[in-house]
Amino acid sequence: MTAPTPRVGRGPSGNGTARVPWVLVLPALIGLLFLLLPLVGLLVRAPWATMGRRIVDPDVLTALWLSLSTSTAATLVSLVLGVPLAWSLARTEFPGRRLVRALVTVPLVIPPVVGGVALLLVLGRNGIVGQYLYSWFGLTLPFTPAAVVVAQVFVAMPFLVIGVEGALRGADRRYEEAAATLGAGRVTVFTRVTLPMILPGIGAGAVLCWARALGEFGATITFAGNFPGTTQTMPLAVYMAMQRDPEAAIVLSLVLLLVSLAVLATLRERWMSV
């Protein structure tokens, strides 16, 4: 093969800049800036002098622990309920499946406060279901950490369901057929073939779900109320602090941000190394 005439001055840098698709890069940079600037705002306005003292405040640690534990519990609940739900939506045919699919995304669309009110109406002490929980078992959900988890599951599970359903639809079903010919029943096919194959999708969905649960505010404060140590998660603590001491609110926001970043980075590392 004969080489084409070499172009003069075609250095690696010249070559590189000629290929940068500015139509994509420019909006990408603006988008990134847009996402990062509020964070910069927090960092600039943070009261660094008193930061150390504020962070170790037992109230802050209590709220942080409550946030982390409830959002993790909410993610686990979402996995247990959401993965089978995603499977049903992706792999079975039943009348009204499209409608159910649309309904699953409702919590994404309605304002979380409305979701909280709806939860109260159903699971509250006088709610459609809650009144029986109360009269039969003496159980009241609102104002307990369990209610925080319920509120978080309500708003965060759709993220998991949508993610997992997408992964299921993208998965090659012929592998499931192959497993069936080897004697695997439906449950075995699901646990030994389908699940491992969509694990990355489940992981991504779970991370989204966890992040959404961690940041959840509206449904939580409405359904679970706000009491330090019981139902006051970090976002609620941030909101309350905002009423009186905006600096404290910035500190709390930064703590929540850094902790969630650390968790996500660790998870990602784990994920990649598997």
* Residues in contact with another protein, shown as a per-residue x/- string from 84 to 123 under the rule CB under 8 A: ---------------------------x-x---x--xx--
The number of CA neighbours under 13 Å toward the Cβ of 132 is: 3
Q: Which of 21, 126, 136, 138 binds another protein (CB under 8 A)?
A: 126
Which alpha helices (DSSP H) does 9-111 contain, by range?
Answer: 12-19, 22-45, 48-55, 58-91, 97-104, 106-109
Residue 96 or 185 having the CB closest to another protein: 185
Q: How far is the CB of 113 from another protein (least distance, A)?
A: 6
Supply the minimum distance, in Å, between the C-beta of residue 69 and another protein: 19
- d(Cα 70, Cα 219) in Å, to the nearest integer? 14
Residue among 264, 158, 266, 271 at smallest CA distance from 216:
158
* Interface pick for another protein out of 109, 246, 269, 270 (rule CB under 8 A): 246
The answer to the question of residue 37 lying near another protein (CB under 8 A) is: no
231 binds another protein (CB under 8 A): yes
Write out the binding residues for another protein, residues 175-214 only, by CB under 8 A: 175, 177-185, 188, 192-193, 196-197, 199
Q: DSSP code of 234?
A: H
Number of residues counted as binding another protein (CB under 8 A):
47
What is the dihedral sign for C-alpha 159, 165, 169, 172?
positive
Q: Is 239 in the site for another protein (CB under 8 A)?
A: yes
Q: Is 226 in the site for another protein (CB under 8 A)?
A: yes
Determine contact, residues 225/146, Cβ cutoff 8 Å.
no
CB distance 120 to 222 below 8 Å: yes
Question: Of the listed pieces 7-15, 47-55, 91-99, 171-179, which binds another protein according to CB under 8 A?
Answer: 171-179
Q: Kindly indicate which of the ranges 26-34, 35-43, 57-65, 243-251 contains the residues binding another protein, using the contact rule CB under 8 A.
A: 243-251
Residue with tokens 């941000």: 257
- Which of 45-53's residues contact partners 24+ apart within 8 Å by CB, and which partners? 45/247, 45/250, 46/247, 46/250, 46/251, 46/254, 47/247, 47/250, 47/251, 50/247, 51/251
Site for another protein contains 47 (CB under 8 A): no
Tell me: does residue 240 bind another protein (CB under 8 A): yes
Which of 58, 70, 38, 62 lies closest to 254 in space, CA to CA?
38
* Maximal CA-CA distance, the chain: 88
Residue closer to another protein, measured from CB, 28 or 108: 108
Closer residue to another protein (CB): 81 or 247: 247
CA distance linking residue 255 with residue 219, whole number of Å: 22
Residues making contact with another protein (CB under 8 A): 111, 113, 117, 120-121, 124-126, 142-143, 172, 174-175, 177-185, 188, 192-193, 196-197, 199, 218, 221-222, 224-228, 230-232, 236, 239-244, 246
